[in-house]
Amino acid sequence: MLERPVILVVDDEPTALASMLDALTRRFGGDYRVEPHLSAQSALDAVSRLKADGEEIALVIADQWMPEMNGDEFLGRVRTIEPTAKRALLVSWGDRDASPVILQACALGQLDNYLYKPWAPAEVHLYPYVSEFLAEWTRLHRPGMELIHIVGDEYSTRANEIRELLDRNGIPHGFHPAGSPMADQLVDKHHAGQQALPLVFLLDGSMLVNPGDAEIMDGVGESPDALQCDVAVVGGGPAGLTAAMYAGSEGLGTLAIERHVIGGQAGASSLIRNYLGFPRGISGAELTQRAYQQAWLFGAKFVFSREATGLRLDGDGKILSLSDGREVSASSVIVATGAKYRRLEVPELERFVGISIFYTTFGESRLVRGLDVAVVGGGNSAGQAVVHLAKFARSVTLIVRGDALGRTMSDYLVQQIRSTPNIQLKLEAEVVGGEGGDRLETLQVNDRASTAVETIPVRILFVLIGALPHTDWLAGVVQRDAKGFIPTGPRVDRALWPLDRQPMNFETSVPGIFAVGDVRLDSMKRVASAVGEGAGSIQNVHQYLAQVRGPGEVKARVAG
């Protein structure tokens, strides 16, 4: 039996420490061992001892003002010893001197967030926030609930694709390598010894053999038969999810179509710290899963793992063609397809894609523990990934084509990257090759200034180098620029616009077809702006439907 994970608390005031110890033990003592310390140095010695003994530290809480060293410095030292422990600074209500400390320490990655004292009642002012820390630690370091079981080769590209599909769509699952005891048990139970891998075992007891994404999602989620609606939302990123949620909440028959995974590029972000309303940060996957649940609760229907392949007009109606051969009949369409990831275009590395090279950061903690890894990219998604990976990997190399980070990445991320000891930064650099056996072992990185090529050890590579708009399916239907982005509102070429009125803010060159999020020309490429555009587009939809139907006939609901 493993020891219970440790919650370590340090405060030089005996009464305050005893109060915290009592409160935490009463609520969390059954699952965690709460260890108190009056001295910062004794607490640091304890962290080193626990680490050496192989014990797990889930959370460290430190008072800010202590005589040996301040709490932010103490927590920074804890990070160097045990970077996987969550770290919380304890400050007093109204302590103005602590505010700049918190901001700077969070920016440098010394702490994850803060707690206030006094906290009475603890049920309101202490337990909810401690629970957040522990929940995040548990998600990363404990086996999750398994509603779906996958059996396959550990280094199978298809098995990893299925894991990403389920992970990013928020479906609890477990992976069991072929030949492991659990895999053998599942295979024997279903008499599947001769079947091709990977195998997917569903909650209802059925088994799928090397299934496609659509077959999996039909097995675990909804698959509406009725494909008539007031508004069809194409894309399940922040803009599309927001549009679906607002459309559903306002009584419009809403059908959302997502070709791959909920959340788009935002869903791959390890931690978004600058989104309004989440001062402690939130992962992109959690944020977009909440948005999906909210849209679903308001009545939006979802078609998963089908791609929109074409769009044609039928009078005022719009007919969407899906990749499975079906068609969606909609009164209006919101295009929120975002973008598809740019690829490295290094041919010799293609064989490692899905095994050692990933164009997303799903499930990264289980992949990178103790390994040398690299990230290619200079935007916020790359920065967030690097900071997160550094907690688990032996080393992380960030490879950036540009000559500076500050132009394309938020300052708080730049500061964290520069202050994290196991992150190496290579500016004006690009990946030009790599080698390995079954898995990647080394990368060749070209210094663009000197043209020198350096070989570095890398076992896992994450590529986050931006994306191109996913609009090929709209060619010849709506106006696009040379790169494929969709002009809206005043950017629409009036020579292509068929009506006397002007296009609405999010309306494309075709009345009743709207574009929001990253796919829209001159969009801000931020989660918050995508959410705002998704919400604003529904007002445009209402106005359009009132024009073509009349004010009293706007809402028709999804048939069936």
CATH C-level class of 6-141: alpha beta
Residue-wise over 512-545: b if at least 16 C-beta within 10 A, else e?
bbbbbbbbbbebebbbebbbbbbbbbbebbbebb
Residue 369, token pair as written in the block: 């523990």
Which residues make up the CATH 3.40.30.10 domain(s) of the chain? Answer: 148-220
pLDDT of residue 1: 41
Which residues make up the CATH 3.40.50.2300 domain(s) of the chain? Answer: 6-141
pLDDT at 551 over 70: no
φ/ψ (deg, to 5) at 343: -105, 160
Q: Mean pLDDT lowest for which of 61-70, 290-299, 341-350, 528-537?
A: 341-350
Answer whether CATH 3.40.30.10 is correct for domain 148-220.
Answer: yes
DSSP of 274-288, one letter per residue? SSTT-TT-B-HHHHH
The CATH code for residues 228-340+477-553 is 3.50.50.60
Listed in sequence order, the residues at least 6 apart from 164 whose beta carbon sits closer than 8 Å to its beta carbon are 261, 360, 362, 363
- Residue 196 DSSP one-character state: P
Residue 417, token pair as written in the block: 């990257």
**347-465: what fold?**
FAD/NAD(P)-binding domain (3.50.50)
Whose tokens are 């620029």? That residue is 481
146 vs 168, residue with greater confidence: 146
Q: What is the mean pLDDT of the chain?
A: 91
Q: Is residue 527 within 8 Å of residue 277, measured between CB atoms?
A: no
How far CA 17 is from CA of 46, 90, 92, 124, in Å, comes to: 16, 11, 14, 19
Q: Mean pLDDT lowest for which of 199-213, 260-274, 399-413, 425-439?
A: 260-274
Which residues make up the CATH 3.50.50.60 domain(s) of the chain? Answer: 228-340+477-553, 347-465
Cα-only R_g, the chain: 26
Q: Mean pLDDT lowest for which of 10-14, 167-171, 282-286, 361-365?
A: 361-365
How far CA 169 is from CA of 104, 216, 260, in Å, comes to: 34, 11, 9
Q: At what angle do helices 411-419 and 98-107 cross, to 10 degrees?
A: 70
222 vs 470, residue with greater confidence: 470
pLDDT at 340 over 80: no
Indicate if the alpha-carbon torsion angle 449, 450, 451, 455 is positive or negative. negative
How far CA 471 is from CA of 227, 484, 486, 506, 533, in Å, comes to: 22, 6, 8, 16, 18
pLDDT at 560 over 60: no
pLDDT at 85 over 70: yes
Indicate if the alpha-carbon torsion angle 139, 144, 148, 149 is positive or negative. positive
Q: At what angle do helices 98-107 and 71-81 cross, to 10 degrees?
A: 20
pLDDT band at residue 363 under the 50/70/90 scheme: low
Indicate if the alpha-carbon torsion angle 489, 493, 496, 499 is positive or negative. positive
Residue 167, token pair as written in the block: 């992970």
Tell me which residue of 137, 115, 136, 126 sits closest to 26, measured CA to CA.
126
H or E element in which residue 2 lies: none
pLDDT at 365 over 70: no
3-state secondary structure of 290: helix
Residue 444, token pair as written in the block: 């060749």
3-state secondary structure of 234: strand
Neighbours of 437 (CB within 10 A): 6
CA distance 82 to 8: 12
Neighbours of 44 (CB within 10 A): 20
Q: Is the peptide bond before 121 cis (omega within 30 degrees of 0)?
A: yes
pLDDT at 525 over 80: no
Alpha helices in 89-224 (DSSP H): 98-107, 122-125, 127-141, 157-168, 181-189, 213-220
pLDDT at 331 over 70: yes
Percent of the chain with pLDDT over 70: 96
- Residue 491 DSSP one-character state: G
pLDDT at 556 over 60: no
3-state secondary structure of 478: coil
pTM of the model: 0.76
Number of residues assigned to the chain: 560
Angle ∠(489,493,494) on CA atoms, nearest 5: 90
H or E element in which residue 120 lies: none
CA distance 420 to 180: 37
pLDDT of residue 2: 58
Averaging pLDDT over each range in 6-20, 157-171, 379-393, which range is the top one? 6-20
H or E element in which residue 47 lies: helix 40-52
